[in-house]
Structure 1
């Protein structure tokens, strides 16, 4: 087994190192860098406009980190009269550790669908929800929350910036290295990878087993032409490593 890890930044580097320590050849090829979002300066004002009992939802650890740093730098603190949510356990734990508040997350299904299944999300009339996120991304939660009566605002805490590579050269390296498994942690990365790889190499690309973090991304991969797709039960590196090892 030889694995291509596309997860960006330190988490991708950590997973690559974990694979190497487990005796598995791995290459880290982050397709994006994560940079400061264009709306972060609006965060203190957006938080102050929320009513007691309103919701703040952080889409990822990146959103949490940039939001936390911004409030620290501006001298504001996280309000105690709001409810805080995240989509995954690791993000929720990190969020809670940074803001010293309880953070709810969907334990059974770490996705927008799981979040919407929480009791707190059933009747959203009169609720104002602030979503801390990156540029682009999925709109499903926002759309469904509005259908349930919520007023929803999004705030771009970070942005994904495509990394400049010689595409053909990178794919040549991957093929020579015998890459036959791909780790894909978001739909955006999957779509960008398809665009990144020259069309003449798509047969090779889609012959690789694809390991991902949600059934939604798995379904998208199958629509794009993959047959061998495995879903990790959770999105953190420990579960991704276990999934890769068990799929061998």
Structure 2
């Protein structure tokens, strides 16, 4: 059996290396990658939407990381009035480091 890992870089490559080391043939192909945006115009529009949101869905640690980086660089904080939902327990715990409030995640 071969495994195709579609996680973004660099975590996708790290997982493939670990799997190959233990004898599980694996390849990496990222469907998308995350990079910080340097366009303050588009980010400022999105940040206003973030503060108006009642529910915020979080899909990845990278999205948390880059959003938090933007907030710090612009002397902003995560919205306090929104309800946060994370996809996955580890993503929820990663988000909790920044928002320090109750959040919801899918449990298996």
How high is the TM-score relative to the length of structure 1? 0.37
- Which digits, 9 at most, give the CA deviation of each residue in 1:180-219, with x for residues without a partner? xxxxxxxxxxxxxxxxxxxxxxxxxxxxxxxxxxxxxxxx
1:44 to 20, 43, 47: 47
1:13 to 2:10 alignment? no
- Matching of residues 68-217 of structure 1 within 5 Å: 68-108=68-108
Whole-angstrom CA distance in 2 between matches of 1:64 and 1:98:
9
How high is the TM-score relative to the length of structure 2? 0.73
Whole-angstrom CA distance in 1 between matches of 2:81 and 2:29:
42
Find the structure with the greater CA-based Rg.
Answer: 1
CA contact (8 A) 1:89 1:107 kept: yes
CA contact (8 A) 1:40 1:67 kept: no
Specify whether residues 19 and 68 from structure 1 end up closer, same or farther in structure 2 by C-alpha distance, changes over 3 A only: same
Specify whether residues 55 and 2 from structure 1 end up closer, same or farther in structure 2 by C-alpha distance, changes over 3 A only: closer
Report the alpha carbon displacement of residue 27 of structure 1 after superposing the two structures with TM.
Answer: 2.7
Aligned pairs, number: 105
Whole-angstrom CA distance in 2 between matches of 1:83 and 1:12:
29
CA contact (8 A) 1:43 1:67 kept: no
Specify whether residues 48 and 29 from structure 1 end up closer, same or farther in structure 2 by C-alpha distance, changes over 3 A only: closer
Runs (5+) with no aligned partner, structure 2: none
| Bigger fraction of residues in strand | 1
3-state SS of paired residue (2:35)? strand
Whole-angstrom CA distance in 1 between matches of 2:81 and 2:33:
34
The alignment yields a C-alpha RMSD, in angstroms, of 2.5
Report the alpha carbon displacement of residue 31 of structure 1 after superposing the two structures with TM.
Answer: 4.2
3-state SS of paired residue (1:78)? coil
Specify whether residues 78 and 27 from structure 1 end up closer, same or farther in structure 2 by C-alpha distance, changes over 3 A only: same
